[in-house]
Amino acid sequence: MSIALVILAAGKGTRMNSDLPKVLHPIAGAPLLHHAMRTGAALEPERTIVVAGHQADQVQAAALEFDHTAEVLMQTEQLGTGHAVDQAREALKGFKGDVVVLFGDTPFLKPETLERMIAARRHHDVVVLGFDIAQVQPRYGRLVMDGDRLAKIVEYKDATEEERQIRFTNSGLMACDATLLFDLIANLSNNNASGEYYLTEVPELANARGAKVTAVKCDEAETLGVDSRKDLAGAEAIYQKNARTALLEDGVTLTAPDTVFLSFDTAIGRDATIEPNVVFGPGVTIESGATIRAFSHLEGCHVSRGTMVGPYARLRPGAELSEDVHIGNFVEIKNAQIGTGTKVNHLSYIGDATLGAGTNIGAGTITCNYDGVMKHHTHIGDNVFIGSNTMLVAPVSVGNEAMTGSGSVITKNVPDTALALSRAEQTNKPGVALKLFEMLKKKKQKLISGAK
């Protein structure tokens, strides 16, 4: 069966108190909207429609970044969830299949749950996703069941005292035959406590037509939505906790799990070790047996088997470390490939560079990659020894088995096996230090007595 996702993301999110649209606030490095789109993508939808309102251009850019085939539609006035879905009427004209309505601010929904909804659709015309709330709350629509049949949904504001005691509540998600859905939505009224066109009126209207309506149940945790910064922080904490547990179960050692922060796509192999206070931005892959030492920050990089990073290292996008590499304290690597067994152990910046295998980069080495206007590349070969505090002024290349003297500023290519030295020659002046000390002491004495 063909599926069209309709993701509602037009709400202002007033309680976020933000210039950024609510659905673009991130959890684990990805906007809420992407989490919803990722879950929906598991159904392999033929169409993905995002209904945007506030700052629609930003929402559109984010939707297209995730899926360039996504269609973003405008809901200029937010007149309710039913009205929001109605915005897709024209776009889905002639579409034969199911519409699955998702919310853009609900990041924990599991793909399996959507699959269960689709499975239930085989025997029902409308399927609503519900959950049992642990405590009765003055929000959420209540699902009024009649055996397996969902008789109707009543919004909390419109419910009787008796209905408000129902624990089976509406997640807001719905799967329905497209033709039937748009037929029913055309008949929604806004004659309710909020004066909105509720999507939740659909089950009752469907029943009146003799259609089969039911509800599928999921865990309350899956339906958690984000309305405020407090919710966002809470959702982040839940995401992190779950992601850390999943890594531990996959055989990754986290010395202090609560201090490690992961992104939605962090991939870490079995028997890797992550020490305390490590932050993973998006796009990081770590192979088995690698070690990331304390207080390191990684994003958009790859770390191979047996490689050691940190403590206090920063790997930026495009850092690709081969096997048995050592990246030490206060080292930053950006857009650079580091060959097998190469060591950059202390206080260095390696950016826009290729380093061969078995090379040693001395403390304080800098690839001077930026001339103020453009970025340039540095190439360093195999088994090279770069002396401490070498400045490599790119574009420049250092050949295999070459060497640079400490403190050199390398502006010309260094051939294979050559020693490059570019620093002023040292001269020793006998006894001059002693004389200087005496002169300075006298000067200090004079200043002190002058001040009295």
User: 305, exposed or middle or buried, with CB in 10 Å at 0-12, 13-18, 19+?
Assistant: middle
How wide is the angle at C-alpha 198 spanned by C-alphas 194 and 202, nearest 5°? 150
Interface with ligand UD1 (CB under 6 A), residue from 5, 27, 33, 51: 51
Q: Is 105 in the site for ligand UD1 (CB under 6 A)?
A: yes
Secondary structure letter of residue 53 according to DSSP: B
- Which stretch of DSSP H or E encloses residue 309? strand 308-309
Minimum Å gap between C-beta 119 and ligand UD1 is: 22
Residue 171 interacts with ligand UD1 (CB under 6 A): yes or no: yes
| Minimum CB distance to ligand UD1, residue 104 (Å) | 5
When the beta carbons of 52 and 325 are compared against ligand UD1, the nearer one is: 52
Distance between CA 378 and CA 132 in Å, rounded?
60
For the CB of residue 267, give the shortest distance to ligand UD1 in the complex, in Å.
30
Are 154 and 141 contacting, i.e. CB atoms less than 8 angstroms apart? Answer: yes
71 scored as a contact of ligand UD1 (CB under 6 A): no
Q: How far is the CB of 21 from ligand UD1 (least distance, A)?
A: 9
> Which one of residues 29, 40, 59, 103 is an interface residue with ligand UD1 (CB under 6 A)?
103
CB of 301 to ligand UD1, least distance (A): 34
| 346 in catalytic set | yes
- Based on the shown chain and the rule CB under 6 A, indicate whether residue 108 belongs to the binding site for ligand UD1: no
For the record, the structure tokens of 397 come out as: 């290349």
**Which of 103-111, 293-301, 312-320, 321-329 is the region at the interface with ligand UD1 (rule: CB under 6 A)?**
103-111
Q: Give the total of residues touching ligand UD1 (CB under 6 A).
A: 27
Contact positions with ligand UD1 (CB under 6 A) in 3-32? 8-11
How far is Cα 325 from Cα 377, in angstroms, rounded to an integer? 21
Show contacts with ligand UD1 in window 225-284 (CB under 6 A).
225
Instruction: Kindly tell me which of 230 and 412 has the beta carbon lying closer to ligand UD1.
Output: 230
Identify residues 195-224 at the interface with ligand UD1 (CB under 6 A): 198-200
Q: Are 410 and 392 in contact (CB under 8 A)?
A: yes
What angle, 0 to 180 degrees and rounded to 10, lies between the N-to-C axes of helices 32-41 and 111-121? 50
Q: Which is nearer to ligand UD1, 182 or 198 (CB)?
A: 198
Q: Dihedral sign, CA of 81, 82, 87, 92?
A: positive
Contact residues for 83 (Cβ-Cβ < 8 A; gap 6+): 75, 77, 188, 196, 197
CA-wise closest residue to 2 among 92, 88, 75, 89: 92
Please identify which residue in the block is written with the tokens 């609900």: 106
The whole-angstrom separation of Cα 296 and Cα 161 is 54
Which residue is catalytic, options 123, 346, 376, 379? Answer: 346
Where does this chain bind ligand UD1 (CB under 6 A)? 8-11, 51, 75, 78-81, 83-84, 103-105, 140-141, 153, 155, 169-172, 198-200, 225
- Catalytic residue positions, numbered: 346
